[in-house]
């Protein structure tokens, strides 16, 4: 590349050439040209230096950009060991008789498209998303979101699973605004106390500014626990109670919480495989009110599980208590929310309203005809579980039955599905 010359030098050179051409290049003209050259040589030298300096800086900048590109590429590369584990796990899942939604929707094409992707902030991989389902072929779903960005980066897998589980919530759909409705609408589903043993309504919440369990540090766990404890200590009236950290918990307190069926244990094998139990029991805790009808779990599966419950079937009273509590807590702790998916949670089955309204109900006649029970449950979008919840058996004909859908409908509508479904089940049980 030629070095650009200052205008004065170019003019001097041109003048000299013109003079030589017209007059044969006499001595005076050559002398004049030499004098002009001496005047502009310093400027030419400076221009040359500036040009070289500029080219050098540009070269150095290009090297820096290449290094940064390499670093970014390295940040977005999936480790060879992770890829090998993914390939091995996928092969075993594909060859299994698993009925999980993970197996149903993780086609070879989707797998190959996602296996090299990572989330921008926390560098979570496809393995972080599906490892629980790879290790537990008896999973119903089989995936978790290690961080909020996973729902976008691995959308090719999450979207069809969300649509399947939540009753047709498509990737083009948008979850409606949070609406608890008229809390006085619901009454007692079993006023004679013949069938419903207890009723519970809970919701999950994630705290704004924090990732989900697999990406949390121990310091973040402890920081969150501190915020939750101070927030809940400010509750008054029916919600007033005490926070109990799991770390350093006294044996007498522990036993009482076990007796009350309040104490959550370290996660089951499904959560363990999803890396949801790191640094246990740091940052975990339980809060309950004096009447033991309101409960908050801190950093169990989700950042917060807010629970309202009591014996019998008075859904209206229980729902009203939950709504009051959620509104009070949200005044102090901002919740993580997405315009399309609603409230964000670790497990995609809890997205949207995150509401799960359930009863422990004894229906011995329907229990002897499980097909009929499942038929009615499906009609009202209900989920039937064993007495002690997911992955357990019914004991003495007692089932845990709840609404299944949490997305594409409001909180009020989600609870109403359970209310209508349980009312129908009791009616059917009476008729048999």
Looking at residue 5, what is its pLDDT?
44
**Summary count for the chain: helices (H), strands (E):** 15, 10
**Does residue 222 share a domain with residue 96?**
no
Question: What Cα–Cα distance (Å) separates residue 388 from each residue in 306, 361, 375, 396?
Answer: 18, 12, 22, 12
Give the distance, in angstroms, between the CA of residue 26 and the centroid of all CA atoms in the same chain.
Answer: 86
- Is 305 among the catalytic positions? yes
Residue 414 sits in a domain whose CATH number is 3.30.590.10
In a domain, 280, yes or no: yes
Q: What is the token pair recorded at 141?
A: 């779903």
Looking at residue 260, what is its pLDDT?
80
Helix (H, G, I), strand (E, B) or coil at 307: strand
**Helix spans in 166-234 (H):** 218-232
Greatest CA separation for the chain: 128
In a domain, 385, yes or no: yes
Domain span at 246: 196-431
- Is 107 among the catalytic positions? no
- 166 belongs to an annotated ligand binding site: no
Residue 100 sits in a domain whose CATH number is 1.10.135.10
**Does residue 267 share a domain with residue 344?**
yes
- 368 belongs to an annotated ligand binding site: no
Looking at residue 201, what is its pLDDT?
97
Phi/psi at 403 (5° precision) = -65, 145
CA distance 376 to 429: 11
Phi/psi at 309 (5° precision) = -160, 160
Helix (H, G, I), strand (E, B) or coil at 170: coil
**Does residue 376 share a domain with residue 232?**
yes
- 386 belongs to an annotated ligand binding site: yes
Number of domains within the chain: 2
Q: Which of 349, 353, 354, 410 is catalytic?
A: 349
Helix (H, G, I), strand (E, B) or coil at 390: coil
Q: Report CA Rg, the chain.
A: 34
Of 123, 148, 166, which closes a domain? Answer: 166
- Is 340 among the catalytic positions? no
- Is 225 among the catalytic positions? no
**Does residue 250 share a domain with residue 154?**
no
Written as one string, the DSSP assignment of 380-428 is TTEEEEBTTBTT---BTTEEEEEE---SSS-HHHHHHHHHHHHHHHHHH
| 380-393 CB burial, b ≥16 within 10 A, e <16 | bbbbbbebeeeeee
Q: Which of 87, 390, 392, 395 is catalytic?
A: 390
Of 147, 166, 185, which closes a domain? Answer: 166
Q: Which of 356, 405, 406, 429 is catalytic?
A: 356
Which position has the token pair 């702790």? 333
- Is 390 among the catalytic positions? yes
- 359 belongs to an annotated ligand binding site: yes
pLDDT, mean of each 10-residue run, the chain (432 residues)? 44 43 44 52 57 58 50 63 96 96 97 96 95 96 96 97 91 94 92 94 94 94 96 94 92 84 83 93 94 94 96 96 95 92 95 95 86 88 72 68 92 95 92 86
Q: Which residues contact 120 (CB under 8 A, 6 or more apart)?
A: 149, 153
Looking at residue 168, what is its pLDDT?
87
- 305 belongs to an annotated ligand binding site: yes
Beta-bridge partners for 308: 201, 294
CA distance 318 to 327: 15
Written as one string, the DSSP assignment of 247-292 is TT--HHHHHHHHHTT-PPPSP-HHHHHTT--TTTTTT-EEEEETTS
- Is 11 among the catalytic positions? no
In a domain, 42, yes or no: no
Confirm if 125 and 131 have CB atoms less than 8 A apart.
no
Looking at residue 72, what is its pLDDT?
44
- Is 321 among the catalytic positions? no
- 387 belongs to an annotated ligand binding site: yes
**Does residue 202 share a domain with residue 159?**
no
Confirm if 295 and 239 have CB atoms less than 8 A apart.
no
**Does residue 200 share a domain with residue 160?**
no
- 321 belongs to an annotated ligand binding site: no
Q: Which of 301, 411, 417, 429 is catalytic?
A: 301
């Amino acid at each position: 590349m030629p070095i650009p010359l200052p205008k004065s030098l170019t003019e001097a050179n041109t003048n000299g050439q013109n003079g030589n051409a017209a007059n044969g290049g006499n001595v005076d003209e050559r002398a004049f040209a030499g004098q002009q050259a001496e005047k502009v040589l310093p400027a030419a030298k400076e221009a040359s230096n500036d040009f070289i300096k500029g080219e050098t800086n540009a070269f150095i900048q290009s090297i820096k950009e290449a290094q940064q590109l390499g670093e970014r590429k390295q940040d977005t590369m999936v480790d060879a060991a992770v890829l090998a584990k993914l390939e091995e796990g996928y092969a075993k899942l594909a060859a299994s008789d698993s009925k999980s939604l993970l197996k149903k929707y993780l086609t070879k094409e989707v797998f190959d498209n996602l296996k090299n992707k990572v989330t921008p902030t926390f560098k979570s991989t496809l393995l972080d998303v599906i490892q629980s389902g790879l290790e537990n072929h008896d999973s119903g779903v089989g995936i978790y979101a290690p961080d909020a960005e996973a729902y976008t980066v691995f959308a090719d897998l999450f979207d069809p699973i969300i649509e399947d589980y939540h009753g047709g919530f498509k990737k083009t759909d948008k979850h409606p605004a949070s609406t608890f409705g008229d809390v006085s609408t619901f009454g007692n589903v079993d006023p004679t106390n013949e069938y419903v043993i207890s009723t519970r309504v809970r919701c999950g919440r994630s705290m704004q500014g924090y990732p989900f369990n697999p990406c949390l540090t121990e310091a973040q766990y402890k920081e969150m626990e501190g915020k939750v404890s101070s927030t809940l200590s400010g509750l008054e009236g029916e919600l007033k109670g005490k926070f109990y950290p799991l770390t350093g918990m006294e044996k007498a307190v522990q036993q009482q919480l076990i007796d009350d069926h309040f104490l959550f244990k370290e996660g089951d094998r499904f959560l363990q495989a999803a890396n949801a139990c790191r640094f246990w029991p740091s940052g975990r805790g339980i809060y309950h009110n004096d009447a033991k009808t309101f409960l908050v779990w801190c950093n169990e599966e989700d950042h917060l599980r807010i629970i309202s419950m009591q014996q019998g079937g008075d859904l209206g009273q229980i729902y009203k208590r939950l709504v009051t509590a959620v509104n009070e807590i949200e005044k102090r702790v901002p919740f993580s929310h997405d315009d399309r998916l609603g409230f964000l949670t670790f497990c995609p089955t809890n997205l949207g309203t995150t509401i799960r309204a359930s009863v422990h109900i004894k229906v011995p006649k329907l229990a002897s005809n499980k097909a009929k029970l499942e038929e009615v449950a499906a009609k009202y979008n209900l989920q039937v579980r064993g007495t002690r919840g997911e992955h357990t058996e019914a004991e003495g004909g007692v089932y845990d039955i709840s609404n299944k859908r949490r997305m594409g409908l409001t909180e009020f509508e989600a609870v109403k599905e359970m209310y209508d479904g349980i009312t129908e089940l009791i009616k059917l049980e009476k008729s048999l």
